[in-house]
Amino acid sequence: MSATAKQGLGRIGGLLKGRSARDVPQEAVIPEFRAQALLLFQDFEKSGIGWFWSTDGEGRLNYVSDCVAERHGRPREELIGQPFHKLFILERDEDDRIERTLPLILSARKTFSSLPVRGLTDDREVWWAISGRPQYDGAGNFTGYYGNGADVTDSRRSQRDASRMAMYDSLTGLSNRHRMDKRLTATLTAYKAAKRSCALLMVDLDRFKQVNDTLGHPAGDELLKQVAQRLQRIVPEGGEIGRLGGDEFQAILPDIDDRGRLGDIAKRVIEIVSQPYQIDGSRCVIGASVGIAIAPYDGADAEELVRSADLALYAAKGGGRGQFRFYSKDLHNEAERRRQIEEDLRDALAKRQLYLAYQPIVDVATNKVVCVEAVMRWLHPELGNVSPGVFIPIAEESNQIIAMGDWALKTACDAAMQLPGNVRMAVNVSPKQFANLGFPAVVAQALANSGLAPDRLELEVTESIFIADDDITDQTFKSLKILGVRLALDDFGTGYSALGYLKKADFNKIKIDQGFIRGVTEEGSRNIAIIKSIVSLAEGLNMTTTAEGIEAHDELETMQKLGVKQIQGFIYARPVVIEEVLEAMTSGEWVIEPNGPSKYRADRMTTFRKVGLIHEDHRYEGTMRNLSRTGCLIEGLLDVPLGVKFVIDLGEGQLAVAKVMRSADSMMGLEFEMPMVDDGAGGLCTRHRVSPYILAAAGMPATAQPMPNLAQQITLPRFASASDRAKPAR
């Protein structure tokens, strides 16, 4: 309440406080004095500084100032006789508190002062601070309340704005780090007692720094606002999204531990965030990486869960960006391995550890090789062959990719000169390499030094080169076309592409991303319609189409029917060294007959890992040889009958029920009752895990830990192991 209001109330004195007759000064009974007090009373009401009210013994209004009635948009006569508390909104406010204090005070007949309540008005939000004092007659009987009130809307709004600034991000309007920390801590504390789960997603934007550097910080701020709006549409109801600072976001998802659903949410985040943005007339393309941790499996408290999610995010970014990862204990070793790779990569080129392999691109009508794509490989002296999906992103982050890319370009041009004149050489170009002002000169020098004809060099770029949409990009395209080299748009259809650039950049080829190839032969697949549209678009623009990642004959036949001109994939050949390419082309051409499975099936990953096999009250050990979404091959038990069901213990609380479908000697093929889901790292995992709460109920520590042997071998095994081949099975 303002000082002016307090002064006015003080002048009304005893009239406001409802003093009894013996408490009122003698001069108050003088008619002139009473008249003066009434004038002050009326003037105070009209000033709008404060207002007055009184009730009968049953809590119904028998007086209220006109200004209150005006705020309600009703005549004062309609308010008289109504319960006093009906003037206010007594419900949950934005601070998650329920304003139930007033009815309790009134029923207890207690004195109260400056109690904040929200006015029940239609036109705008109004807050009042009300005070009241119970009244009694000479016999001590309760007769009602006398009280007053004052408008505190402005101060309440200022307090709320200050509180919001402390709890919300001023740029995006999302919760800030402080609020997210408090919410996560409170949620996990409550959920631990209730034995409930909670997922935490950490989201980091990829290539955001490039937007800031090229378009400026105001553009970066606008981009963050648009990202926040997209994330709010994705996060499920009941979840909360916050911005921790910079380009890092966090989402709390209560009561979700289904890794299949969480993986779908993460994929959706990556897909939506990666779609193009319009910022002040410029088109921007960024990406996103997501790390996921789930309580109580990956952490029992907020600090531990955040640390696990951070480590998963670090792995997602290290795995090539635009990916998601679930936390697992293996990530600690993976992080250490990545640090070693980053350090050793600096010397890999100088020590001649990098080399190029070449994968054929085949004309689908003749099976003749018309082009070979140069792909970079790294043979590490200790780690062996390091995946390009691991070391290429590291090279991009450390800015080594430009030197490595220039080396690959020159090496590939030299190799192309050894091939027949009708075979082209395709070389991948990274966004950083393409953005280098001197890149066209590097291409021209590689062509000149090797003597390669420009139209035999095909440069493959991804749509991320258009991130800045600036003059440098346009000029680079023009310079390359003047040189006469061919341009291919790689990974087309992944959601980043803008059709306008196909004409603007004058590409010669579109490469259809293998993500659209997978599942194309499955009934009801929409990928066929998408590929058909891409082929029609390419034909209309006089471009060639290449389908990547073809492995099975049914996929190949589908591509032929859809009119795809060229095929690249394991059905023809894997990448091979230049010596093998030259040997295959000794006759002047290389014709490859497709060789692969008749039908595409879910990928079976070759693996070699120990697993537990639980059957009834027995537990056995086995070795998993391969794994797919629907089943696995396990070695270790002899002549297991068909139809036997096992619970397979995959570790870290992952249990999968599976039935024996094939059995021969010590090998058995099992089919899962519930398919595996994508773990974000190219592997598979179970949807659910055994909760640490269940372990605690069984007398084990309720902490995130690998799944122990739940089945104890309390009786002799029913199935003999392979190591017991010489012993009779009991």
Question: What separation in angstroms does the CA of 349 have from each of 353, 432, 445, 635?
Answer: 6, 18, 20, 42
What is the tens place of the pLDDT at every residue in 665-703?
Answer: 899 999 999 999 988 877 899 999 988 877 666 555 544
How many Å is the maximal CA-CA distance in the chain?
Answer: 127
Q: What are 230's two structure tokens?
A: 């997209």
Neighbours of 693 (CB within 10 A): 15
- For residue 123, the model assigns a pLDDT of 62
What average pLDDT does this structure show over 45-52? 78
Please report the pLDDT score of residue 25 as a whole number.
Answer: 54
Q: Tens digit of pLDDT for each residue in 458-478?
A: 999 987 777 655 677 888 888
In this prediction, residue 61 carries a pLDDT of: 92
Determine the pLDDT at residue 99: 52
Contact by Cβ (8 Å): 686, 656? yes
Q: Write the CA distances from 129 to 147, 156, 634, integer angstroms.
A: 11, 10, 73
pLDDT band with cut points at 50, 70 and 90 for residue 493: low
Task: Find the helix packing angle between 527-540 and 553-562, rounded to 10°.
Answer: 40
Q: What is the pLDDT of residues 407-423, one digit of tens each?
A: 999 999 999 999 998 89
pLDDT at 709: 41
Which pLDDT score, from 0 to 100, does residue 585 have?
92
Which tokens hold the place of 328? 């697992």
- The span from the CA of 629 to the CA of 686, in Å, is 9
Residue 21: CB atoms within 10 Å: 8
**Cα 407 to chain centroid, rounded:** 36
- Contact assessment for residue 69 and residue 76, using Cβ atoms and an 8 Å cutoff: yes
H-helix segments, 352-464: 388-397, 401-416, 431-435, 439-450
pLDDT score recorded for residue 222: 94
Q: Looking at residue 21, what is its pLDDT?
A: 41
Mean per-residue pLDDT for 182-200? Answer: 92
State what percent of residues in the chain have pLDDT above 70. Answer: 85
Of 519 and 654, the structure prediction assigns the larger pLDDT to 654
The domains of the chain, with CATH numbers, are 3-159 (3.30.450.20), 168-328 (3.30.70.270), 351-511+568-584 (3.20.20.450), 605-724 (2.40.10)
- The answer on pLDDT for 524 being more than 80 is no
Give the residue among 725, 692, 726 at the shortest CA–CA distance from 708. 692
Tell me how far apart the alpha carbons of residues 193 and 702 are, in angstroms, rounded to a whole number.
12
650 touches 657 (CB < 8 A): no
pLDDT over 80 (residue 8)? no
365-405 pLDDT per residue, tens: 999 999 999 999 999 998 899 888 888 888 888 889 999 99
Look at residue 543 and tell me whether its pLDDT is greater than 80: yes
Q: Are 543 and 488 in contact, with CB atoms under 8 Å apart?
A: no
Q: At what angle do helices 388-397 and 302-318 cross, to 10 degrees?
A: 100
Residue with tokens 């091959």: 633
State residue 353's pLDDT score.
95
Give CA–CA dist 370/367, Å, rounded: 9
Round to whole Å and give the CA distance between 520 and 524: 9
For residue 103, CA distances in Å to 90, 115, 142, 143, 604 come to: 9, 12, 16, 17, 66
Query: Residues 66-97: pLDDT tens digits?
Result: 888 887 778 888 889 999 888 887 654 544 44
Q: Which residues pair with 489 in a beta bridge?
A: 461, 510
Residue type, 601: R
- In this model, does residue 642 exceed pLDDT 90? yes
Mean pLDDT of the chain: 84
Stretch 286-308: mean pLDDT, rounded?
94
Q: Which residues contact 96 (CB under 8 A, 6 or more apart)?
A: none
